[in-house]
Amino acid sequence: MENQDPNVDPNVAAEASVAAPLPEIPRMTAEEAEAKHQQILRRERLSSVMIAVLVHVLIVIGLAVWKLAVDEPAEVKIQARVANQRTTDAPTQQVTSDSMKRKPSPPSQSAKLITANVDSAAVFVPEVQVETELFNMGTGDTIGLGLGTFGVGDGDGGGGGGDFGRASRGASSLEGNLYDFKQDEKGKAVRYDIRNRDHFVKRVKRLHSSRFSESSFGRFFKAPKQLFLTTLAVPFSDASAGPRYFGAADKIKPSGWVAHYSGKIAAPEDGTYRFVGNGDDYLAVFLRKQPRLIASWTDIQGELDRGFRATDPTGKHKGPFNIPLIYGEWFRMRAGEEIPIDICLGERPGGKVGFVLMIEKKGVEYGKGADGRPILPLFTTTDFSAKEKERIKSGFGAFQFDWKNVPVFTATEDDGF
């Protein structure tokens, strides 16, 4: 047992230890407690906002990485030309005070070709793409601003179909339908980029390979109205005219469409003939399922004319849209013999269109234009009325047609035989 102080009463010591006061705990007022509570809430809100921002940033970064992984980088090719060097691979477009120039079509995304006039060879130029609907048109002396030199072709070609055909079949005509490359057969949008030539060219190539079979058109949206063609002479016009006359102005945008006409034709007399013409952007004529004329805008002509051989040098004469006239392959016809024909025309990027199809018979003496071009008649399956002649003359201005030596073919519905 420990020694205790004899002078201290043990009972008194114990009472003193029990009675010793506890340290005082500070108390908060109601105002201080509320302030503390609000401070905690502010911290929680700030934390929530920071977490939400961080999640969004991570999502954006993830999408960007996915986009870079999916998109293939375009190959850029630089073609340098020495200054003042003349080239002949594309037509030279004239510039006059009253002419309109078509903006150049953009290159295919699969291979970008940038051309520059330079004094030295190695120049790297970054490509800048502007996402806009291209204004596609011809130029030259025969195209003005719709002031009389070259009128807009929205006139009625007979029977309410405009320059794209008549609304009623008539006695001698080719049945036509318009199709949209931008929609499937049910009207659902599919991928089509006006900046990418391949989206138009590959679809047209499939039509050529199938020889314009009905099933090859079945995957595209079809305009509700049919038109019936007797002659093809569509002057410089808005690309919206095609869908509008086929009854689809509210369903088909004025780009990435084709119109297909088919039937059988018979020549009025024995002879050797060829088609001559061009299209902005695309024109093709097949006889007996074989290409007899492919005449398109210069940026897609070389990709579409496989299997076709022009009979005169391309670029020898200019057409009404200031692009080269294409002279088709010669073919023999006997009077009254019915031959299946397919005429297909189309617009790729939107903007403006124009199509002309003429016929030449070997051995006929035609007049000559100032550039030596033979002045040929339009291909037709009916006689021209005075009103039709005036409409065409007004629309094509200085570009002349032969109105005397006109072979009038007959057209019938294709029965499959």
Q: Are 338 and 413 in contact (CB under 8 A)?
A: no
Give the strand pairing for 76-82 and 112-118. parallel
The chain-wide mean pLDDT, for the chain, equals 79
| 183 pLDDT above the threshold of 80 | yes
Total-model pTM: 0.66
- Residue 261 in domain: yes
Mean pLDDT of 5-11: 52
In sequence order, what are the residues at sequence separation of 6 or more whose Cβ sits closer than 8 angstroms to the Cβ of residue 223? Answer: 177, 178, 179, 180, 243, 246, 247, 248, 251, 252
Q: Which of 214, 357, 228 is nearest to 285 (CA)?
A: 357
- Residue 142 in domain: no
Pair of tokens at residue 226: 């049919």
92: exposed, middle or buried (Cβ count in 10 Å: 0-12, 13-18, 19+):
exposed
Overall domain count for the chain: 1
Span 188-230, pLDDT tens digits:
999 999 999 999 999 999 999 999 999 999 999 999 999 999 9
- Residue 113 in domain: no
CATH number of the CATH domain containing 246: 2.60.120.380
Q: Which of 268, 291, 280, 283 is nearest to 358 (CA)?
A: 283
- Residue 356 in domain: yes
Q: In terms of residue numbers, what domain contains 220?
A: 162-412
Which parts of 47-95 are beta strand (E)? 76-82
- Residue 68 in domain: no
- Residue 344 in domain: yes
Higher pLDDT, 193 or 128: 193
| 276 pLDDT above the threshold of 80 | yes
- Residue 383 in domain: yes
- Residue 341 in domain: yes
CA distance 133 to 241: 16
Higher pLDDT, 158 or 292: 292
pLDDT band at 72 (very low <50, low <70, confident <90, very high): very low
Cα 371 to the center of its chain, rounded Å: 32
Span 13-61, pLDDT tens digits:
444 444 445 455 455 566 666 777 777 777 777 878 888 888 878 888 8
